[in-house]
Amino acid sequence: EAGVTQFPSHSVIEKGQTVTLRCDPISGHDNLYWYRRVMGKEIKFLLHFVKESKQDESGMPNNRFLAERTGGTYSTLKVQPAELEDSGVYFCASSSIGGANEAFFGQGTRLTVV
């Protein structure tokens, strides 16, 4: 069974540019989450999809971040325009429906804004 897959693994962009990160969850997982770790900080929750619906987006830092999950399959996280403080590692995770089911994480996308 394929795990959670994220693209790209690394991205270096200039301040003001746009970047789109993609996450393919484990097949059949309705829950999809985005997290990120910025330099020197703890891993922080960004948002949670159930199928195509945003269930909780309380961790999104500002309106420069837009997450979508059209059709309830893969998800994209767009940063527009990117700022220096957006640099970090963005993780995607997925889990099946059910209260205690564990979340499986992808390898992350390392974003560097210069």
Partner 1 sequence: DAKTTQPPSMDCAEGRAANLPCNHSTISGNEYVYWYRQIHSQGPQYIIHGLKNNETNEMASLIITEDRKSSTLILPHATLRDTAVYYCIVRAWGSGGSNYKLTFGKGTLLTVNP
Choices 12-20, 45-53, 70-78, 80-88; region in contact with partner 1 by CB under 8 A: 45-53
Tell me how far apart the terminal alpha carbons of the chain are, to the nearest angstrom.
Answer: 37
Choices 14-22, 40-48, 61-69, 78-86; region in contact with partner 1 by CB under 8 A: 40-48
Determine the 3-state secondary structure of 71 from DSSP.
helix
Which distant-in-sequence residues (6+ apart) come within 8 Å of 12 by Cβ? 112, 114
> How many amino acids of this chain bind partner 1 (CB under 8 A)?
26
**In angstroms, rounded to a whole number, what is the distance separating the alpha carbons of residues 112 and 10?**
8
44: contact with partner 1 by CB under 8 A: yes
**In angstroms, rounded to a whole number, what is the distance separating the alpha carbons of residues 65 and 78?**
6
Q: Which is nearer to partner 1, 17 or 112 (CB)?
A: 112
Given 56, 73, 80, 85, the residue binding partner 1 (CB under 8 A): 56
Tokens of 71: 């059709």
Contact residues toward partner 1 (CB under 8 A) are 4, 31, 33, 35, 42-45, 48, 50, 55-56, 58-59, 91, 93, 95, 99-100, 102-108
